[in-house]
Every structure is written in structure tokens, then in C-alpha cells.
């Protein structure tokens, strides 16, 4: 009997240990598993072009659902007010005071290709160190010279899309890049708007990427080209906006093969982008990945098309190529089911150069290069008290109206335009930047002017001098 009791005690103890181990193991696995990261980037989409920021004419139900299920940032900034350098800031964590890419190639002093260099450390390189599979599908725009900026040497395992920003100007391109191969699209014709609509393939490729890498941590950078010029979209996306009595906006065809009516095309393009977001989220749910995937949606700079009909810049002044808030404040929403509290709003001030340290923190690694960014993980997790804040934000641009510099420091926003009086705005009281108060606060102006000089490092290709595009 004693022997039987000892056997029972041993079996019972072993059973308890086994059950305890089984119960503990899933928790440990879940805790240890690194989240997938998807960054969806629109092109020239304004702050006010999405429903969650007040858009009423254009319907964006899927993007708005991201906002309902995640967190909206009200004070998120692009890298600058034009695509190439803005995207460089997103990828490297470095703003335009220090970046190797500060303008598009044609606006550089000598017209040299504005590419990332071997010394640049991208978020893809950092996540590769953390064991992630990395992919970019869409517009890269940082390999203008076809050398050092190649995606496959900048940390990405897979690339499908446009290497340069000019390739991305057309929606029915003659070819597309897949890794290092140029894939002809013989049935496409830009002028006739015939063949495969490029962004449709980006959405399809993104879903395939998710399917192929569902069992490993992945980073997917998904920069669509919608709704950038040229303004054209398949008829099924324009149809919901026809016969609404909208004013027509005739478009002239030159470099861009626009549709006849710009308003219908623009609305349809934004809605088609919204459709892609819905397809992507459906795929994540289908693959049981939505609870372990952080999805971020934003735009590379302010709106380039709208002149007021859509209120694309929301309550702000200006748009693309300008450093007023409308040119650099971006729509931003982050969704991570089960981790980010649904339906929340953050007033944390952040910028594109914060994405790299954020991704690194989520992946469990430290940034390996000196950067300007600050991780916004605490803000995403609803812990504003532990969220570090920026002392300042810096932007510059040198296209058309340039050179222009801007610095935000707390509520103050200083803008230095070429051969014009210095402008100072208190964003806390004047979000639309209507009242220049530079004369009333000379001490603040002096401080910001000094910062503009001290923060910036020289780059011989991008001096702060007046110039014209070289081509």
C-alpha cells in the first residue's frame, strides 16, 4: 500500500509539473515572439484626405476602421515636404539637417543621384539583425543612380516596385523591378491607360509576402504611389463619385497622362488605396496574424493636387513643397490588436525619423548608428508619462520656393524663407499659421535662428542656396 501511495504521489507530481509546463509554454512563446511590422505609406495624401481626420467627400472606410481599432496620432510629421528626403528620414531615423538625401536629384547642386549610401543604416538593416525577413513593395525612390541605394544592399530581402521616383510617376508602366531584374509589362500603355494598374500588383504582392512569411517575424514596407500625379484610376474606383454634382477639374496631359476630370480621379485613387488597406487587413486576419502585427498607415508629405475642394490639408496651411503644417503634418494611425487600445488618440509629437528606433525597440535591438529619432512605443502602449519627447523638430527643402528651413520647438514654429521676413507661429493658439508673431517674440526668433545654424551639418550637394532644377 505504501509503495502504491508513493507511485500515486510521483504520478500526481509529474502530472502537475507537465500541466504547469504546458500552461506556461504558450505564455512564454507569445511573450517572446517578435511582432510583425507593416508600414503602409501613401504618396501625396493630405492630413485631411482620410475620414478619421474629417474628410467627408472621399470615402475611406477601411483606413477609418484602422483608426477605430487602433491609435491616431494628431501631431505626426513627415520627413519633409517632398518624397525622396522624406522617405530617407523614415528609413534611416535621420532628419534633413544631417541626411545624405536632402532633396530629389534634380534639385541638388550638381544633379548627382540622391541615393542612400553604404554607410546609411536603414530600419531594414536593423530588423535583419533582429531576425526579421524584410520586404519592400512599391515606390523606393532612393536608388536614383542604380548603385549604392539598391534595396537589396540596404537591408531588404525582397523588392518589387519602382527604384526611382520618376518611374513611379506612371500607373501603367512599361516595366517594374523585381529584386534586381527589370520585368517588362508588354501589354501596358501609359498614354492609353491600358494594361496592369501598378498599385493593384503591389497589393497582390503584399498579400503573397504575408502568406509566404507567416511563420517568421517580418517587416513589410508598403509604399503605394496613390494618390500622386498622374491622376488616373480604373473606372470602377471613379464610379461612386460620378453624378454627385461635383465641379469638374479639367486636366492637361503632358508628362502625366491624367484622366479628364481631376476631382473624380483623385477621389477614386484615394478610395482604391483604401481598398488595398482592407485587402491587407483581411489577409492578416485570414493568416491569424492580426494580433501579432503592428500596422502603421501614413503619408510621405502633404497634398499636391487639391486646391480646396477636398480640404486635403485639413485645418492647416499649405501643402506639398511647403514647410507649413499642411506640407509636413501627416495622417497617422497605428493598429495592433490586443496591444494598442482601440479608438485612442495621442497628442505625442513625433516624426518619420522616430520609426527606426520604434521598430528597433519592438524587435529587441538597439539602433546601431547615431540617429535623431525617439521611439514612440510608450505612446502606442498608452503610457504617455514614460514617453520621451523631442526638444525640437527640423525640416528643410529647396524646391521652387527654397531654400526653406523650419524648426518646431514646443508650441513655437519658426520658418526661414529665402529673402523673406522670418515667420514665427504659436501652434498652440494658431494651428493654421495665420498670425506671424515674429516681431512680438524676438528672443524666440533668435533662439530658433541659432538652432537652424547649429543643428545643420554641411552637405556639398545640398547647400542652402537658391537654385533651379537641373532637368
| 183-228: pLDDT as tens digits | 999 999 999 999 999 999 999 999 999 999 999 999 999 999 999 9
Task: Provide the pLDDT for residue 469.
Answer: 84
Cell of 285: 486576419
**Same structural domain, 416 and 308:** no
Nearest CA to 442 out of 424, 458, 456, 457 is that of 424
**Same structural domain, 334 and 199:** yes
> Can you give the CATH number for the domain in which 131 is found?
3.40.720.10
Residues 102 and 462: beta-carbon distance below 8 Å: yes
**Same structural domain, 204 and 267:** yes
**Same structural domain, 339 and 406:** no
**At residue 63, does pLDDT exceed 90?**
yes
SS (H, E, C) 199-252: HHHHHHHHHHHHHHCCCCCEEEEEECCCCCCCCCCCHHHHHHHCCCCCCCCECC
Task: Provide the pLDDT for residue 362.
Answer: 98
On the 0-12 / 13-18 / 19+ scale of CB atoms within 10 A, 434 is exposed
Task: Provide the pLDDT for residue 468.
Answer: 86
467 pLDDT tier (thresholds 50, 70, 90): confident
DSSP 410-452: TTEEEEE-TTS--EEEETTT-TT-----GGG-HHHHHHHHHHH
Task: Provide the pLDDT for residue 395.
Answer: 98
| 131-151: pLDDT as tens digits | 999 999 999 999 999 999 999
Q: Which helix (H) or strand (E) holds 358?
A: helix 355-363
**Same structural domain, 57 and 170:** yes
Task: Provide the pLDDT for residue 7.
Answer: 39
**Contact residues for 337 (Cβ-Cβ < 8 A; gap 6+):** 69, 290, 291
Whether 17 is covered by a domain: the verdict is no
* Full-model pTM: 0.93
Domain count, the chain: 2
| Domain final residue, candidates 390, 409, 436 | 390
Whether 194 is covered by a domain: the verdict is yes
DSSP 311-329: -TTTTSS--TT--SHHHHB
**Same structural domain, 139 and 249:** yes
Nearest CA to 449 out of 406, 419, 420 is that of 406
Whether 142 is covered by a domain: the verdict is yes
Strand partners, 219: 37, 134
**At residue 257, does pLDDT exceed 80?**
yes
**At residue 19, does pLDDT exceed 70?**
no
Q: Which residues form the domain of 77?
A: 34-390
Whether 89 is covered by a domain: the verdict is yes
Q: What is the C-alpha to C-alpha distance for residues 154 and 180, in angstroms, rounded to an integer?
A: 13
**At residue 24, does pLDDT exceed 70?**
no
Cell of 417: 524663407
Round the average pLDDT of the chain to a whole number and report it.
Answer: 93
Higher pLDDT, 410 or 2: 410
Whether 100 is covered by a domain: the verdict is yes
**At residue 16, does pLDDT exceed 70?**
no
Report the greatest alpha carbon distance in the chain.
Answer: 101
**Same structural domain, 90 and 208:** yes
DSSP 72-120: EESSEE-SSSSHHHHHHHHHHS--TTT-S--S-GGGSSS-------TT-
Average pLDDT of 402-430? 97
**Same structural domain, 97 and 136:** yes
**Same structural domain, 166 and 292:** yes
Task: Provide the pLDDT for residue 288.
Answer: 97
> Can you give the CATH number for the domain in which 403 is found?
3.30.1120.10
**At residue 2, does pLDDT exceed 80?**
no
Task: Provide the pLDDT for residue 27.
Answer: 34
**At residue 10, does pLDDT exceed 70?**
no
For the ranges 13-22, 100-109, 259-268, 419-428, which has the lowest average pLDDT?
13-22
| 26-61: pLDDT as tens digits | 333 334 589 999 999 999 999 999 999 999 999 999
**Same structural domain, 328 and 438:** no
| Domain final residue, candidates 334, 361, 390 | 390
400 pLDDT tier (thresholds 50, 70, 90): confident
307 pLDDT tier (thresholds 50, 70, 90): confident
Whether 117 is covered by a domain: the verdict is yes
Residues 165 and 139: beta-carbon distance below 8 Å: yes
Whether 446 is covered by a domain: the verdict is yes
**Same structural domain, 295 and 408:** no
Whether 19 is covered by a domain: the verdict is no
Task: Provide the pLDDT for residue 369.
Answer: 96
**Same structural domain, 436 and 319:** no
Q: Using the CB atoms, write b or e for 226-252: b if 16+ within 10 Å.
A: bbbbbbbbeeebbeebeeeeeeebebe
**At residue 310, does pLDDT exceed 50?**
yes
Number of continuous H segments (helices) and E segments (strands) in the chain: 11, 16
Task: Provide the pLDDT for residue 6.
Answer: 45
Amino acid at each position: 500500500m505504501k509503495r502504491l501511495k508513493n507511485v500515486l504521489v510521483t504520478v500526481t507530481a509529474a502530472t502537475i509539473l507537465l500541466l504547469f509546463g504546458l500552461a506556461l509554454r504558450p505564455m512564454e512563446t507569445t511573450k517572446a515572439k517578435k511582432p510583425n511590422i507593416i508600414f503602409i505609406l501613401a504618396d501625396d495624401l493630405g492630413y485631411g484626405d482620410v475620414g478619421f481626420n474629417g474628410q467627408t467627400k472621399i470615402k475611406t472606410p477601411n483606413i477609418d476602421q484602422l483608426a477605430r481599432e487602433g491609435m491616431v496620432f494628431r501631431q505626426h510629421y513627415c520627413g519633409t515636404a517632398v518624397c525622396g528626403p522624406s522617405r530617407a528620414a523614415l528609413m534611416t531615423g535621420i532628419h534633413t539637417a544631417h541626411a545624405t538625401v536632402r532633396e530629389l536629384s534634380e534639385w541638388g547642386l550638381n544633379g548627382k543621384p540622391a541615393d542612400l549610401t553604404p554607410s546609411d543604416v536603414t530600419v531594414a538593416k536593423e530588423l535583419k539583425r533582429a531576425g526579421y525577413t524584410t520586404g519592400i513593395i512599391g515606390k523606393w525612390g532612393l536608388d536614383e543612380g542604380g548603385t549604392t541605394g539598391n534595396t537589396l544592399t540596404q537591408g531588404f530581402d525582397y523588392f518589387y516596385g519602382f527604384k526611382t521616383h520618376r518611374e513611379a510617376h506612371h500607373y501603367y508602366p512599361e516595366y517594374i523591378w523585381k529584386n534586381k531584374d527589370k520585368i517588362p509589362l508588354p501589354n501596358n500603355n501609359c498614354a492609353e491607360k491600358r494594361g496592369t494598374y501598378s498599385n493593384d500588383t503591389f497589393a497582390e504582392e503584399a498579400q503573397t509576402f504575408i502568406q509566404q512569411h507567416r511563420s517568421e517575424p517580418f517587416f513589410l514596407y508598403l509604399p503605394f504611389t496613390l494618390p500622386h500625379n498622374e491622376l488616373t484610376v480604373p473606372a470602377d474606383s471613379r464610379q461612386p463619385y460620378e453624378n454627385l454634382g461635383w465641379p469638374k477639374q479639367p486636366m492637361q496631359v503632358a508628362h502625366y497622362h491624367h484622366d479628364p476630370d481631376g476631382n473624380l480621379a483623385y477621389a477614386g485613387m484615394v478610395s482604391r488605396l483604401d481598398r488595398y488597406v482592407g485587402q491587407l487587413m483581411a489577409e492578416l486576419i485570414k493568416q491569424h496574424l492580426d494580433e501579432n502585427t503592428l500596422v502603421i498607415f501614413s503619408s510621405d508629405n502633404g497634398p499636391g493636387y487639391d486646391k480646396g475642394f477636398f480640404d486635403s490639408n485639413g485645418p492647416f496651411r499649405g501643402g506639398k513643397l511647403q514647410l507649413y503644417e499642411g506640407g509636413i503634418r501627416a495622417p497617422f494611425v497605428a493598429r495592433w490588436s490586443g496591444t494598442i487600445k482601440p479608438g485612442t488618440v495621442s497628442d505625442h509629437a513625433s516624426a518619420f525619423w522616430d520609426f527606426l528606433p520604434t521598430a528597433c525597440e519592438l524587435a529587441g535591438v538597439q539602433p546601431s548608428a547615431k540617429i535623431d529619432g525617439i521611439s514612440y512605443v510608450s505612446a502606442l502602449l498608452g503610457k504617455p508619462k514614460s514617453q520621451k519627447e523631442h526638444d525640437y523638430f527640423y525640416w528643410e527643402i529647396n524646391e521652387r520656393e527654397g531654400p526653406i528651413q523650419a524648426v518646431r520647438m514646443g508650441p513655437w514654429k519658426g520658418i526661414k524663407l529665402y529673402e523673406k521676413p522670418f515667420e514665427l507661429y504659436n501652434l498652440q493658439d494658431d494651428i493654421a499659421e495665420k498670425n506671424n508673431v515674429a516681431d512680438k517674440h524676438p528672443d524666440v526668433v533668435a533662439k530658433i535662428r541659432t538652432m537652424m545654424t547649429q543643428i545643420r551639418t554641411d552637405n556639398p550637394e545640398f547647400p542652402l542656396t537658391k537654385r533651379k532644377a537641373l532637368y
